[in-house]
Amino acid sequence: MTIPAIYKFVNWITGTPVPIDDAMTSALTPTIDPDLQDALDNFLYAKFPALVPGCRIAIEPSNGAQGGNVVGSSTIYYNKYWHGWAPVYDGTLWRWKNCHGLSQTLADTTKSPAATVASTIYDMFLWQDTDGTLRHTRGPAWTNSGAGTSARSAAGALTRDATLNYVVNTLDITNGPLAGRGLWTGAIRTNSANTVDGYGQGQGSGGGAEVNMGYANLYNRLPWSISNLDTGAAYTYNGAGVRQCRASANNQIGWLNIGQSSNMHWMCTYLWFMQTVAAINAFMQMGYGINRTTGFDFSSQTYIQNNQGANVLQLRGAFTGSAVQGLAVGYNFLAMLEQSDGVNLNTYQQGPWQSIQIEY
């Protein structure tokens, strides 16, 4: 039997996704007898359960892969990456349909339980409405969207479909798909302004900028980097307590982890200039905190101590790096931290600049 072009999403030998000519496949669709399509669907789901949807969650129209530094999006898109097709339950069977170009605003309340609120995580689902319209919409807000403590609500529980083995919604979603009929595609997290940010670079002269990677895909994940730069002037700090650099809550990078296996994150920091006062045993250090701002994590702090005291002690251009795996599901952040000796006003200048590489 020759499989129609509409099903040629994957090279069956290598498993490599193959781009599809949407116009060609759309033209072919009406020529397939419904009974034959049912048979083909059943055959493909039984023999090739690992077929991968070809779209991605995105925050700009048309692009499945983000094309640049995009922040503050008020619309979530579902765009073609490898191809535009994904399995959708049509009331009788799960069928592969062209889903490219679907969108929903964060303010929409007609096809989701509610509009979004700031600093909150939402799962995204692909489904077919009762009138046949394809939708890609939010589920209920997570009960907890905090760093390292995120948790879904009971109403937003997920399960695996017994036929497809895809992840779907366990319960009916208000204004959305019935139980088991919404294909889970990933999640988003709004920022403090109730919009969604993507990768790129943030910077601010008074202590960096709010920087978050605000969406995560279950399928067709891509690596990218996100960075934050504090461009402020030199400042001093004499506290013995660990705090965020320049006492700024923006000296950090946040991202969303939805529990995928490939959750390796590479972090690096460039420290352009540190200087102790001319005092014996004056010391200072800088480093990371994961989901906390009052204590260092890892063993990669940059530390200097003035043992002779006759002159100031300087450190220029230091670099630290670390990799971390298995972070908490939900929201996480990497904070840039500093500590002084509790007595001396040591100087921090021209930085810090921090970067994190993630998959989104």
pLDDT value of position 52: 84
For residue 175, the 8-state DSSP code is T
Structure tokens, 106: 């964060």
Q: How far is CA 160 from CA 9, 45, 78, 167, 213, in A?
A: 22, 14, 21, 4, 27
Listed residue (215, 115, 99, 87) closest to 174, CA to CA = 115
User: Which of 112-116, 154-158, 160-164, 288-292 shows the lowest mean pLDDT across its residues?
Assistant: 160-164
Q: Is 182 exposed, middle or buried (0-12, 13-18, 19+ CB in 10 A)?
A: buried
Q: Phi and psi of 35, rounded to 5°?
A: -65, -40
The dihedral over CA atoms of 97, 103, 109, 113, expressed in degrees to the nearest 10, equals 50
C-beta contacts of 65-68 below 8 A and 24+ residues apart: 65/222, 66/198, 66/199, 66/224, 66/360, 68/200
Check whether 250 has a pLDDT greater than 70: yes
Using 50, 70 and 90 to split pLDDT, how confident is the model at 319?
A: low
Distance CA 208, CA 344 (A): 25
Q: Which of 63-77, 297-311, 314-328 has the lowest mean pLDDT?
A: 314-328
* DSSP three-state, residue 247: helix
Q: What is the pLDDT of residues 89-109, one digit of tens each?
A: 998 888 889 999 999 999 999
SS3 147: coil
DSSP assignments along 44-82, one per residue: HHHH-TT----EEEESSSS-SS--S----B-EEEEEESS
Task: Give the per-residue pLDDT at 18.
Answer: 40
- How high is the pLDDT of residue 328? 83
Question: What is the model's pLDDT at position 88?
Answer: 94
Tell me the mean pLDDT in the region 173-197: 96
pLDDT of residue 354: 64
Where are the chain's structural domains? 56-198, 201-359
Closest by Cα among 341, 336, 239, 240 to 286: 336
The full 3-state SS of 186-215, as one line of letters, equals EEEECCCCCCECCCCEEEECCCCCCCEECE
Instruction: Give the mean model confidence (pLDDT) for residues 71-86.
Output: 91
For residue 266, pLDDT beyond 50: yes
197 within 8 A of 213, measured Cβ to Cβ = yes
Question: Is the pLDDT assigned to residue 13 strictly greater than 70?
Answer: no
Domain range 201-359, CATH architecture: Sandwich (2.60)
Confidence of residue 299 (pLDDT cuts 50, 70, 90): confident
